[in-house]
Amino acid sequence: MAEMKQLGLAVVGCGVVGRMRSTMAKDFPGIGWIGLCDINEDLGKKLKDDIDADFFTTDFKELIARPEVDAVIIASSTWSHVEPTLAAAEQGHAMMIEKPLATDARESAQVLAAIEAAGCDAVVGYTQRFRRRFLVVKEKVDSGQIGTFRSAVTRAFMNRMAPTGEVRLTQDRRYLTPMVVSGTHSLDMSFWIMGDAAKPVSVYARSNDTVMRDMGTKDATFGIFTMEDGAMFSMNICWALPKEWPGAVYGLEIGIVGTEGIIDIEDTHRDVVLATEHAQGPAYNPEGLKIDVERHVDFLTSFPPGDMQGGSLWGPMREETNSWFQRIYSGRKTPHATAAEGHRNLMMTMAMDLSAKQGREIELPITPEELMAGLEA
């Protein structure tokens, strides 16, 4: 067998997720060069030293333009994905982009257009697709085990630690809503499982903001989509649960009903419970985040990326990241979310926010310009 060329990887963003993915890249034999970028020089240089990376800069354009780079991971803050993604598309690089593509629907459409025009293989980080339970559900639905999809319901619970960490670094929090930031994961999972049958023609949603108002975001959003064949999809997320809530991040329930069967998924992580005299820190713990509460009960395995054991991360983010390395190195087919699906997810979550803001049903599809004009009004 001919020896394959090792790839050069650029990682933009050296925080929690960037560190996880970079560490796994160091162990992948098909990657021979790693470059890092972060505006926080101390944070980035520490990661460089920890994984013995080849290069570090605070300028993502400098990193992405380097001749060693073949592929790029965009793991910067939620609201800062657009410029590095456009720079990577200009170079024609393969990409893994943390969700969302953007927090503005017009910019998301611009990013998608640039990716498609360049012919880039770009995927979006919806890690939960790589959990065994959801992979087997997807296979059963695709093989017709429950017949034709007719209705679905999804419920997501989160405590306040994740949104506290998410909104603290920016004053522009208009679009850092429960749906855009976190509900997008359960929406993606549901639309992915429903497959081609999920063709929404309208959405009606409501939100409230009692607990999280001072942080500039909402507490919860509830909504219902109607499909072109009359099927229905109801989903909701609340990320304002007390910080003491034992779920480290996500507690999810999904039910999908078809003409010939049902799949009911209980993913609240209450099957492995830790109660201890020792305080449990936050699972999501970015640099500089201080949580003013002690948690002594924990639903283990409820941190979406996975869990640490023996100094290594084990779980869906490991599966997702290593599968992506195999995808870009050997062309392996994977269940990653495409850039087009990432854009669709943003449009659907923002349509829910628009419906909640205007108190009316929103007809779909809607253009990015119409969507943003309504949200900005």
Kindly report the CATH number assigned to the domain that includes residue 160.
Answer: 3.30.360.10
Between 79-83, 207-211, 284-288, the lowest mean confidence (pLDDT) is in 284-288
Residue 369 is assigned to a structural domain of this protein: no
Range of the domain at 218: 132-304
Residue 358 is assigned to a structural domain of this protein: no
Q: What confidence score (pLDDT) does residue 249 get?
A: 86
Q: What confidence score (pLDDT) does residue 166 get?
A: 73
Kindly report the CATH number assigned to the domain that includes residue 12.
Answer: 3.40.50.720
Q: Are residues 137 and 247 in the same domain?
A: yes
Q: How many domains does the chain have?
A: 2
Q: What confidence score (pLDDT) does residue 284 get?
A: 65
CA torsion 136-134-265-350 (nearest 10°) is -140
Pairing state of beta strands 251-258 and 262-267? antiparallel
Q: Span 123-148, mean pLDDT?
A: 97
Q: Are residues 137 and 280 in the same domain?
A: yes
Q: Are residues 124 and 243 in the same domain?
A: no
Residue 330 is assigned to a structural domain of this protein: yes
Q: Are residues 193 and 145 in the same domain?
A: yes
Three-state SS annotation for 306-352: CEEECCEEECHHHHHHHHHHHHHHHCCCCCCEEHHHHHHHHHHHHHH
Does the pLDDT value for residue 245 go beyond 80? yes
Tokens of 12: 């933009």
Q: Are residues 149 and 32 in the same domain?
A: no
Does the pLDDT value for residue 1 go beyond 50? no
324/124 Cα distance (integer angstroms)? 10
Across the chain, mean pLDDT equals 94
Q: Span 287-292, mean pLDDT?
A: 67
| Strands of 55-57's sheet in order across | 55-57, 31-37, 7-12, 71-74, 94-98, 122-125, 337-338
For tokens 């429950």, name the residue.
Answer: 146
- The set of residues, in sequence order, having a beta carbon less than 8 Å from that of 28 and lying 6+ positions away, is 322, 325, 329
**Cβ 273 vs Cβ 298: under 8 Å:** yes
Q: What confidence score (pLDDT) does residue 31 get?
A: 97
Residue 312 is assigned to a structural domain of this protein: no
Q: Are residues 230 and 258 in the same domain?
A: yes
Residue 175 banded pLDDT, cuts 50, 70, 90: confident
Between 104-113, 275-284, 298-307, the lowest mean confidence (pLDDT) is in 275-284
Residue 288 banded pLDDT, cuts 50, 70, 90: low
**Cβ 24 vs Cβ 47: under 8 Å:** no
CA distances, 321 to each of 129, 223, 318 (Å): 12, 32, 5
Does the pLDDT value for residue 289 go beyond 70? no
Q: Span 8-16, mean pLDDT?
A: 96
Does the pLDDT value for residue 169 go beyond 70? no
Residue 174 banded pLDDT, cuts 50, 70, 90: confident
Does the pLDDT value for residue 2 go beyond 60? no
